[in-house]
Structure 1
Amino acid sequence: MTVTFSIEYWAQPHERLTLVGRAADSPAHSGAQTLPLEHLGEGHWQATLHLPSATSPIHYIYSYRLTDETGAVLREEWRISHALHLPAGDMAVFMQDRWIDCPEDAPAFSAAFCDILGQQATAPEEAPQPGLTFSVHTPALRRGERLLVTGSCEALGSWDPKKALPLTYRGQGRWSATLPASAIGSVPTSLRYKYLLSTDAGYTYLWEEGEDRWANLPDSSVYPYCYVQDSYLHLPSRPVRTAGLVAPLFSLRSDTDWGIGDFGALREAIDFAAEAGMHAVQLLPINDTTSTRGTADSYPYNAISVDALHPIYIDPEALPALPAEERKAFLREAKALRQLPAVDYPRVLELKERFLRRAFELQGKADLTSKDFRLFYDEAATWLRPYALYCVLRDQFGSGTPSDWAGWEVYDEAKAAAYLDAAAHAEEVGYYYWLQFVLDRQLQAVRSYAEERGVFLKGDLPIGVAPHSVDVWMAPHLFHTEQSAGAPPDDFAADGQNWGFPTYNWERMQEEGDFRWWRQRFERQARYFHAFRIDHILGFFRIWEVPRTQRSGLLGHFHPALPYSLEEWQEKLALPFPIELLTAPLVHEDELTARLGDSFDDLLDSGYLHSTALAGLYQLTHGEQADYETEAAQRALGADVAAVLAELCTETALIADPYKAGHYHPRIALERSRLFARFPEELQERWRSVSDDYYYVRHNELFRTTALLRLGALTSHTRLLLCAEDLGMIPASVPAVLDELQVLSLELERMPKAFTPTGWVRPDGFPARSVATTSTHDMPSLRGWWHSLSASEQERYYRQELLLTEEVPDEEALYRRIIEAHLASPSAAVLLPLADWMSLDSRLWLTTPAEEQINRPEDPHHYWGYRFPRSLSDLQAAAPEWRTHIKHLITLSQRL
Structure 2
Amino acid sequence: MKIHFYLRYHTHFGQTIFITGNTGALGNDNRAEAFALSYLDNEFWYGSIEMPDKKALKEINYRYILREEGEVDILDADADRVVDPTGKVTKDIGVIDTWNTEGNFENVFYTLPFQKHLLKEHYKAPKLKEPKLYTHEFKVKAPLLNANEWVCITGSGKIFDNWDVKKLLPLKATGNWYSIKINLSKEDFPIRYKYGIYNTRTKTFIFESGNDRVLHQHPVKKSTTILHDGFIHLHRTWRGSGIAIPIFSLRSTKGFGTGEFNDINLLVDWAMNTGIKMLQFLPINDTTATHTAKDSYPYSAISAFALHPLYINLDSVAGGKHASLIKALNKKKKSLELQPHLDYEGVMKFKLSILKEIFHAEKEFFLTDINYFNYFDLNREWLVPYA
TM-score, normalisation: structure 2: 0.68
81, 85, 90: which one aligns with 2:82: 85
Judged with a 3 Å threshold, the aligned counterparts in structure 2 of structure 1 residues 77 and 157 are, in CA distance, closer, same or farther, namely: farther
Q: Deviations over 1:271-321 (max 9, x none)?
A: 21232243333321223435567654432101235x53626488879x9x9
- Which has more helix, going by share of residues? 1
Give, in whole Å, the separation in 1 of the partners of 2:80 and 2:33: 15
Q: Deviations over 1:158-180 (max 9, x none)?
A: 53334333345567xx4321317
Judged with a 3 Å threshold, the aligned counterparts in structure 2 of structure 1 residues 365 and 21 are, in CA distance, closer, same or farther, namely: farther
Alignment check: 8 A CA contact 1:291 1:394 kept: no
Give, in whole Å, the separation in 1 of the partners of 2:107 and 2:350: 42
Identity %: 22
Alignment check: 8 A CA contact 2:59 2:86 kept: no
Give, in whole Å, the separation in 1 of the partners of 2:367 and 2:149: 51
Gaps of 5+ in 1: 24-28, 124-128, 369-376, 378-384, 396-896
Match of 1:63 in 2: 64
Judged with a 3 Å threshold, the aligned counterparts in structure 2 of structure 1 residues 11 and 241 are, in CA distance, closer, same or farther, namely: closer
Alignment check: 8 A CA contact 1:3 1:48 kept: yes
* Deviation at residue 151 of structure 1 after TM alignment: 2.7
Alignment check: 8 A CA contact 2:138 2:180 kept: yes
Q: Deviations over 1:111-149 (max 9, x none)?
A: 5995555434489xxxxx996433333441233333222
- Secondary structure of the 2:241 match is strand
Match of 1:393 in 2: 385
Alignment check: 8 A CA contact 1:145 1:200 kept: yes
Judged with a 3 Å threshold, the aligned counterparts in structure 2 of structure 1 residues 130 and 308 are, in CA distance, closer, same or farther, namely: farther
Give, in whole Å, the separation in 1 of the partners of 2:187 and 2:260: 59
Match of 1:673 in 2: none
Alignment check: 8 A CA contact 1:120 1:140 kept: no
Give, in whole Å, the separation in 1 of the partners of 2:104 and 2:228: 19
Match of 2:278 in 1: 280
- Secondary structure of the 1:250 match is helix
Match of 1:678 in 2: none
* Deviation at residue 265 of structure 1 after TM alignment: 2.0
Q: Aligned AA for 2:70?
A: A
- Secondary structure of the 1:302 match is coil
Judged with a 3 Å threshold, the aligned counterparts in structure 2 of structure 1 residues 105 and 41 are, in CA distance, closer, same or farther, namely: closer
Q: Aligned AA for 1:206?
A: I
Match of 1:211 in 2: 211
Alignment check: 8 A CA contact 1:11 1:43 kept: no
Give, in whole Å, the separation in 1 of the partners of 2:55 and 2:312: 46
* Deviation at residue 391 of structure 1 after TM alignment: 3.2
- Secondary structure of the 2:80 match is strand
Judged with a 3 Å threshold, the aligned counterparts in structure 2 of structure 1 residues 261 and 336 are, in CA distance, closer, same or farther, namely: farther
* Deviation at residue 247 of structure 1 after TM alignment: 2.0
Give, in whole Å, the separation in 1 of the partners of 2:105 and 2:67: 23
- Secondary structure of the 1:325 match is coil
Judged with a 3 Å threshold, the aligned counterparts in structure 2 of structure 1 residues 155 and 251 are, in CA distance, closer, same or farther, namely: same
Q: Deviations over 1:630-674 (max 9, x none)?
A: xxxxxxxxxxxxxxxxxxxxxxxxxxxxxxxxxxxxxxxxxxxxx
Alignment check: 8 A CA contact 1:259 1:334 kept: no
Q: Deviations over 1:325-373 (max 9, x none)?
A: 25x35764897776423351344467669679878976845986xxxxx
Judged with a 3 Å threshold, the aligned counterparts in structure 2 of structure 1 residues 130 and 229 are, in CA distance, closer, same or farther, namely: farther
Give, in whole Å, the separation in 1 of the partners of 2:291 and 2:149: 54
Match of 2:232 in 1: 233
Alignment check: 8 A CA contact 2:15 2:66 kept: no
Give, in whole Å, the separation in 2 of the partners of 1:118 and 1:76: 28
* Deviation at residue 97 of structure 1 after TM alignment: 0.6
Match of 1:271 in 2: 269
Give, in whole Å, the separation in 1 of the partners of 2:203 and 2:140: 23
The correspondence of residues 171-320 of structure 1 with structure 2, limited to 5 A, is 174-179=176-181, 183=183, 185=185, 190-199=190-199, 201=201, 203-216=203-216, 218=218, 221-223=222-224, 226-235=225-234, 237-238=235-236, 240-254=238-252, 256=254, 260-291=258-289, 296-305=294-303, 308=305, 310=307, 312=309
Match of 1:151 in 2: 155
The correspondence of residues 115-154 of structure 1 with structure 2, limited to 5 A, is 115=115, 117-121=118-122, 132-153=136-157
- Which has more strand, going by share of residues? 2
The correspondence of residues 788-807 of structure 1 with structure 2, limited to 5 A, is none
* Deviation at residue 7 of structure 1 after TM alignment: 1.2
Gaps of 5+ in 2: 24-28, 125-131
Give the CA RMSD over aligned residues: 4.9
* Deviation at residue 96 of structure 1 after TM alignment: 0.9
* Deviation at residue 196 of structure 1 after TM alignment: 0.6
Judged with a 3 Å threshold, the aligned counterparts in structure 2 of structure 1 residues 205 and 189 are, in CA distance, closer, same or farther, namely: same
The correspondence of residues 753-768 of structure 1 with structure 2, limited to 5 A, is none
TM-score, normalisation: structure 1: 0.33
Q: Aligned AA for 2:149?
A: E
Give, in whole Å, the separation in 1 of the partners of 2:80 and 2:63: 7
Judged with a 3 Å threshold, the aligned counterparts in structure 2 of structure 1 residues 38 and 299 are, in CA distance, closer, same or farther, namely: same
